[in-house]
Amino acid sequence: MEVLKKELTKIIETLPKNEQEIINEKLNNLVSVYPFNKYEYILSMLIGMNKISFDEYLEIRSNYIKRNKYLPIFEISAPRTFGEGIEKHLKKIAPGLLKPTKKLDSTYSGEYDLLYKISNKEKIKIEVKASRAVKYKSKEPLYQKALSWESNACFDMNFQQIKPKCCDVFIWVGIWKDVIKYWVLASKEVEENKYYSKGQHRGNSGEGQLHLTNENIDEFKKYEVKETELIDKIIEAYNRQKLK
């Protein structure tokens, strides 16, 4: 949004003073109701005043969409809906991932999220943790404080209710408004990490949390994977888990 605001401000500043005053006066009296907001109004006025062409409008629109490809994910407020959406996304980009059931795993009781079958006898239990990158300590709605990958703003992704004993492998999903990042770690690599804090809730034995922030994210670079190699990296992490 900041980039779009700068683009429109730059165009407006090229207008004659009287036209700038007209736009500002109308904006001051404008009532915004979704999807008719002030940015849509400014663009409409600039087109109507022949200050930008329709093709230029389409270019501005296209660039905005590229910068905010995943912004709709920040508009999801219900944690359950958010979590289910991430699992569906992972199964789409890595079709070998399965939703566990008693038929696939007779001991399954909801303690992990996804499963990958190496063979009929050997299966990888996978826990998924996802979070969205937003301005740290901002009180704005999620979609307004969403960050781009190149932003220098502080963020704090809190991966909560981590239970290393309940899975073999963790998939962490970090969402920025323009990119999605993935990290794959063996369960014990999470449990033994210096940032892992045990005892998130009093009385919840074996459960903890880990904060991924702008200050420590580079330390997890070795676990970062591309979506096209997700299955291979899950298997590699599982093999590391068995060696520990």
- 93-112 average pLDDT score: 94
Q: Where are the domains of the chain?
A: 2-67, 71-243
List CB contacts of 239: < 8 A, sequence separation 6 or more. none
pLDDT band at 3 (very low <50, low <70, confident <90, very high): confident
Give the residue-averaged pLDDT of 111-128.
95
Binning pLDDT at 50, 70 and 90, where does residue 34 land? Answer: low
- Higher-confidence residue of 30 and 106: namely 106
Quote the pTM value.
Answer: 0.81
Place of tokens 């892992």: 196
pLDDT over threshold 80, residue 41: yes
- How remote is the C-alpha of 177 from its chain's centroid? 7
Note if the bond before 35 is cis, omega within 30 degrees: yes
What percent of the chain is predicted at pLDDT more than 90?
A: 67
What rounded mean pLDDT belongs to the chain?
Answer: 91
* Residues 81, 208: Cα–Cα separation, whole Å: 22
Res 201 pLDDT > 60: no
